[in-house]
Structure formats: structure tokens, C-alpha cells
Amino acid sequence: TKDFIDANLSVRVTLDWYFDAMERGLAELFAEAGEEENLEVCVIGHSIGGWVARAYLGGLGGSSTAVYRLARERITSLVTLGTPHTSPESALVDQTRGLLREIESSPECSSQSLADRGVKVTCVGSSGLSGKIIT
């Protein structure tokens, strides 16, 4: 498509399968936990999974489900492993076709925004998110 060639893919449209999979997994977790009020959830994402999780937590999936609302209350940490958090400006080709750039430019997906909502972000072997080196 033209959006693919121009590296302007939409996060909401392109990553919907990932967002749906996250919601299904979270729905199962919440169903098992029942009414447990002190449930705290840590999301762990490797590579693309790290920035998909950031996009989901930042609301780029466009979800308005009860699962998403509960996830925003219960997810207290995000750990990314080997996740590229910034789109390389000098790359000949944007391999994420604009997806990472959209996530990176969304204020709601920033590490500061997540921290303001009570989500601790830890990056291992990753780059591009600002924050404390040791927490």
C-alpha cells in the first residue's frame, strides 16, 4: 500500500491483532484473579512487544473495553527486553514503516506519562526511553 511504501502505517490498524491478543490475555488473567483488589500486573515485552505494550498502555489501540479500563488500573510495571524505543533517523529504510515513530511521538506513550499513571518502566538491553538509571 502507499502507507507502507511511505512508512506511514497506522498503529491502530496495523497492530490491532497484537492489541486484541493483549486484551484476551489480560481478560483471562483478570477472570482468574476475580475480585482480588490488590492485583498488580507487570507486562513484559521483547523487541516489538515492548513498543506494542507502550502503544496499548498509551491508548493507541483505541480500546474502550472494560478489560482496557481495568488494565490501566492494574498494570503497575512494564519491562522491555531488547526493544528499540526510537526510530533510527539515519536508517535508509524505516523497518517499522512509521509505527514506532507514531508511538514515540505520542505523549501518552512516553515513559513520563506511564510513570505519572503509576507504571514503572524498566528497559533491559533497550534504548531510547528517558528515566532513572537505577530505581
Question: Once rounded to an integer, what is the mean pLDDT over residues 77-90?
Answer: 84
For residue 118, count other CB atoms closer than 10 A to its CB. 12
Mean pLDDT taken over the chain: 86
Tens-digit pLDDT profile for residues 12-29: 888 899 999 999 999 999
User: What pTM was estimated for this model as a whole?
Assistant: 0.86
